Amino acid sequence: LADHVVVGFSWGVEYTSVPTDRQREFAHTAIDAGASLVIGNHPHWVQATEWYGDGFIAYGLGNFVFDQDWSVETTQGAILEVGFTRDRILGVRIRPTAVRQQYAVELLDPAGAEGSSILQRIWDASDVVAGP
């Protein structure tokens, strides 16, 4: 029996920051079924995150090593650092990344201009998910 289950989905609409209702439904169902962490990919842009119950959901982490260098958004991504105890998630750190020349990935300073703009896109999309 696992202490934690991490679920990964390839889902969503490409080149959007806000997850679809269907993504949210699947993620919530996974958490309700016992997952601690849900990580999504496919939209090629960073998307919203949210805490749901005792679980954390990252709807889209953007691109990591990928050849879509035609826009700023498609060169941006994020890495999650997740701390666990036996029975819960201790915390989540979102680390912004950028794809550079020859697809080298750079870990960005979250307080720097580029890193903070990526995090702001995630927070803005997360505010939409949270609603008023």
Q: Is the dihedral of CA 85, 86, 92, 93 positive or negative?
A: positive
CA–CA separation, 98 vs 74, rounded Å?
Answer: 9
Q: Where in the chain are the domains?
A: 6-130
Is the pLDDT at 120 greater than 70? The verdict is: yes
- pLDDT attached to residue 99: 87
Note the pLDDT tens digit of each residue in 30-50: 999 999 999 999 988 899 999
Nearest to 108 by CA among 78, 68, 66, 65: 78
Per-residue model confidence as pLDDT tens digits over 60-110: 999 887 666 767 777 899 999 999 999 999 999 999 999 888 778 889 999
Residue 53 above 80 pLDDT?
yes
Torsion over CA: 59, 13, 61, 109 (sign): negative
pLDDT at position 104: 82
Determine the pLDDT at residue 66.
Answer: 65
pLDDT of residue 26: 97
Q: Which tokens belong to 51?
A: 């805490």
The predicted structure's pLDDT at residue 115: 96
Query: What's the pLDDT at 103?
Result: 74
The rounded distance, in Å, linking the Cα atoms of 25 and 87 is 24
pTM, rounded to two decimals: 0.91
Cα–Cα distance, 132 to 127 (Å, whole number): 8
pLDDT in tens, 8-17: 999 999 888 9
Q: What is the H or E stretch that residue 113 is in?
A: helix 113-130
